[in-house]
Amino acid sequence: MNTKIDSTNPVKITDTTLRDAHQSLAATRMRTIDMEPIASKMNAVGFHSLEVWGGATFDVATRFLHEDPWERIKTLKKLMPDTPLQMLLRGQNLVGYRNYADDLCISFVQHSADSGVDIFRIFDALNDERNLKTTTDAVLAANKHAQLALCYSVTEEGCLGGDVYTLEYYVNKAKIFEDMGASSICIKDMAGLLSPYDAYNLIKALKESVNVPLQLHTHYTSGMASMTVLKAIEAGLDIVDTCLSPLALRTSQPAIEPLIVTLQGTERDTGFDLEKITPLNDYFEGLKDYLGPFLSNDRLAVIDTQVLSHQVPGGMISNLTSQLREAEALDRLPEVLEELPVTRKELGYPPLVTPTSQMVGVQSVNNVLFGRWNSITSQVKDYCFGLYGMSPKPIDKDVLEKALDGYERGTNPITIRPGDILEPELEKAKKDSSEFTKGLGDVLTYALYPVTGETFLKIKYGLQEKPEEPLPEPPSSMLPQAQSGNFSSRARDFNITIGNKQFQITVDPVGSQGSKTRSVSRILSQNVSNSLNGNEMLAEGEIALVAPMPGIIIREICKEGDSVKAGAEIIVLEAMKMENALTSPVSGIVKSINFKSGDKVSKGDMLVIIKEE
Ligand code: CO
């Protein structure tokens, strides 16, 4: 099916309530059972499309909700047959965090199309169009709508222009997208950095340069989104992303209701009936008890003015905060916030969007905690080698050299399309997962998430017990006094200097989830220590590699009895979705490896014990 888009008035609306809105506000925790009762009513509104899948929904469904993301899209398709369903696809990164091989990309798109996705919004974190080619071709081959999205980013100036992200930059990219066969083009402003007048100029210039419909996706984060959307509409924008008011504003999309009223009676009138929307809002308000604990709404302000001055969105700050809290180094947040733009610049100004936002964020934390560029994540190494595509500006020479020192693929970065050097991986994934998969959807889940995906599938087929997870309890943000601006006793103030500007921020750890994870993994690590036949105390000449931060063990690079050199990579730990290859502190023989792939570990756990030689 090719979704017909009429590029004349009225303004068309994509509703993001079932994907980006709850991803932005409630850690993506809405479940299929929360969507089913309202689906047919949303189907009847007359949205241009409903964004319901992709982005983090795939990862969160398998990792935390123990529900099959493929079942969700099939179910929604059945319940919402009249409105095109839309997904967010990270180009060659699909719904994961690295570049996957072409065969996997094609298979994923085909299976998504077969399962109910009509419109694929495809972006690449580096705006490298070569990374969009395989998935775009696959979408068009499936006779579906390929919307190519440009990540909107800025440099230190904070607005359109500067060294990298100029008007010409976006216009050139859009022309390339059109030549690639884009059915429509989206400006994807993930941090709410696009200001109203820049939006006007940008959309105007794009309208003059390309013929396909233009859509705007922005976030309310900085408070500019409603104004930005209106100016973009004045410049001729065709389609805009909004969501229903219960899940709107803050770091989410602008709300649909004020936009409907604003445009009423104008030539861009949406034609929507407010009376049809209100009952939907009542339904989503009813999810407050379930979603409330995940809302990180602990401030009076619904907007994040820090974004306006230093471009670090609140969501990213809360990620950095939780990473630092887990590493028991929360007091180093100001250093990390100063480090962030420096790390980003050295990495060639990548836009901050999944997966580059995690990559830059985690690396900035590592640079502060372990010394600059001393502990480099596997993803940053791959990025420096060119496996994520071409950075907007060249990577700093010294950083490149450090990152690729001893890198398995070599020390000379590639300049070709990353997909061209990746070995096909679908057949291998099929073979490796045959004992716990039953169809293509399962295999794709495993291929995308080998560790958490395997756990999910084994639970799905009763091969492993579902972990007993405590129901979320309301954090302080649910209580009335927290809403009125009081911080908990754990809140701390920080003075931050970025460039020559000074800021003061208050950080109040949300906490209930994190502390639970920690206590569970503490128990796990105690069990492991106890099972070490009384070897929890190191013997003479034995050195332990301890976890520098909590995370999940991804794989062992050595086995017991191996002889390893000091500095050799011996085990890979995933923290904040980034892989960290941990190195042996000494040369010696591997005496024991205390955790296996999939195990959760706490900071300080003895991962590997080495007998020094
Ligand atoms: Co978004």
C-alpha of residue 23 to centroid of ligand 1, in Å? 8
Lowest mean pLDDT among 159-173, 249-263, 571-585: 571-585
Q: Note the pLDDT of residue 126.
A: 97
Residue with token string 């790390």: 343
C-alpha of residue 519 to centroid of ligand 1, in Å? 32
Top-confidence residue, 563 or 142: 142
pLDDT confidence bin for 473, thresholds 50/70/90: very low
The domains of the chain, with CATH numbers, are: 12-294 (3.20.20.70), 307-421 (1.10.472.90), 426-460 (no CATH), 476-612 (2.40.50.100)
Residue 538, pLDDT > 60, answer yes
Residue 150, pLDDT > 80, answer yes
pLDDT confidence bin for 496, thresholds 50/70/90: low
C-alpha of residue 220 to centroid of ligand 1, in Å? 10
Q: What is the pLDDT of residues 37-69, one digit of tens each?
A: 999 999 999 999 999 999 999 999 999 999 999
- Copy the structure tokens of residue 608: 């590997």
User: Phi and psi (nearest 5°) for 534?
Assistant: 75, 10
C-alpha of residue 289 to centroid of ligand 1, in Å? 24
Q: Note the pLDDT of residue 324.
A: 87
- Copy the structure tokens of residue 251: 């770091």
C-alpha of residue 190 to centroid of ligand 1, in Å? 5
Top-confidence residue, 460 or 97: 460
**Which amino acid is present at 161?**
G
d(CA 125, CA 108): 19
Mean pLDDT, rounded, for 515-521: 30
C-alpha of residue 222 to centroid of ligand 1, in Å? 14
C-alpha of residue 188 to centroid of ligand 1, in Å? 7
Residue 165, pLDDT > 50, answer yes
Q: Note the pLDDT of residue 486.
A: 41
Neighbours of ion ligand 1 (CB under 5 A): 20
Mean pLDDT estimate for the chain: 86
Residues 6+ apart with CB under 8 A from 449: 59, 62, 63, 96, 456
C-alpha of residue 391 to centroid of ligand 1, in Å? 21
DSSP 62: I
d(CA 195, CA 198): 5
Mean pLDDT, rounded, for 370-393: 95
Mean pLDDT, rounded, for 429-456: 97
DSSP 533: T
Residue 502, pLDDT > 70, answer no
Lowest mean pLDDT among 180-184, 423-427, 550-554: 550-554
User: Phi and psi (nearest 5°) for 29?
Assistant: -90, 0
C-alpha of residue 219 to centroid of ligand 1, in Å? 6
Q: Note the pLDDT of residue 523.
A: 28
**What is the pTM assigned to this prediction?**
0.82
DSSP collapsed to 3 states, 128-163? CHHHHHHHHHHHHHCCCEEEEEEECCCCCCCCCCCC
| Percent helix, percent strand, percent coil in the chain, to nearest 5 | 40, 15, 40
d(CA 262, CA 270): 10
C-alpha of residue 252 to centroid of ligand 1, in Å? 7
Lowest mean pLDDT among 92-101, 136-145, 504-513: 504-513
Q: What is the pLDDT of residues 71-87, one digit of tens each?
A: 999 999 999 999 999 99
Mean pLDDT, rounded, for 426-445: 98
Tell me the CA distances in angstroms from 192 to 152, 216, 226, 245, one per residue in order.
9, 11, 10, 17
Residues 6+ apart with CB under 8 A from 56: 23, 28, 95, 354
In percent, how much of the chain has pLDDT > 90? 64
C-alpha of residue 607 to centroid of ligand 1, in Å? 37
Q: Give the torsion sign (CA, 14, 187, 111, 450).
A: negative
Q: What is the pLDDT of residues 350-359, one digit of tens each?
A: 998 888 988 9
